[in-house]
């Protein structure tokens, strides 16, 4: 989740956004346009080239971001996230799918073994048979 947030923001450090309700894609577009010799990127994300930010600097940036980018409360309160499936049900589905795939694999392995056996018999007898 953190890596996805970093990609959306376009920067590695997310501390200055903690507790804020912002449009990460808007900030990402701004960071994408930032250029210059002082801007260093890793995996398309801006990384800090200086020392660790002080708590005061993080708070200053957070206040700045709150004023510039924070989304109105009525907007973020109206966002409804989809409820994920029950993990136990999902796990059961995946187990069943895995059983089906294992059976399919066994069938393929058996077919390959039958073909190899036919080919080895053909070599012994010197005959050729058409394959399926």
Q: How do the domains of the chain map onto residue ranges? A: 2-77, 83-132
Digit-coded pLDDT (tens) for 7-40: 899 888 899 999 999 999 999 999 999 998 888 9
Q: Which residues of the chain have pLDDT under 50?
A: none
Share of the chain above pLDDT 90, in %: 57
Whole-model pTM: value is 0.56
HEC assignment per residue over the chain: CHHHHHHHHCECCCHHHCCCCECHHHHHHHHHHCCCCCCEEECCEEECCCCCCCHHHHHHHHHHHHHHHECCHHHHHCCCCCCCCCHHHHHHHHHHHHHHHHHHHHHHHHHHHHHHHHHHHHHHHCCCCCCC
């Amino acid at each position: 989740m953190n890596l996805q947030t970093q990609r959306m923001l376009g920067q590695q450090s997310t501390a200055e956004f903690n507790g804020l309700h912002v449009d990460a894609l808007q900030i990402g577009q701004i960071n994408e346009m930032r250029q210059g010799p002082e801007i260093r990127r890793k995996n398309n994300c801006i990384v800090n080239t200086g020392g660790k930010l002080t708590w005061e600097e993080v708070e200053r940036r957070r206040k700045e971001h709150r004023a510039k980018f924070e989304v109105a409360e009525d907007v973020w309160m109206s966002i409804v996230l989809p409820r994920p499936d029950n993990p136990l049900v999902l796990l059961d589905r995946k187990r069943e799918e895995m059983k089906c795939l294992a059976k399919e694999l066994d069938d393929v392995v058996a077919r390959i073994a039958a073909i190899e056996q036919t080919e080895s018999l053909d070599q012994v007898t010197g005959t050729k048979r058409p394959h399926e």
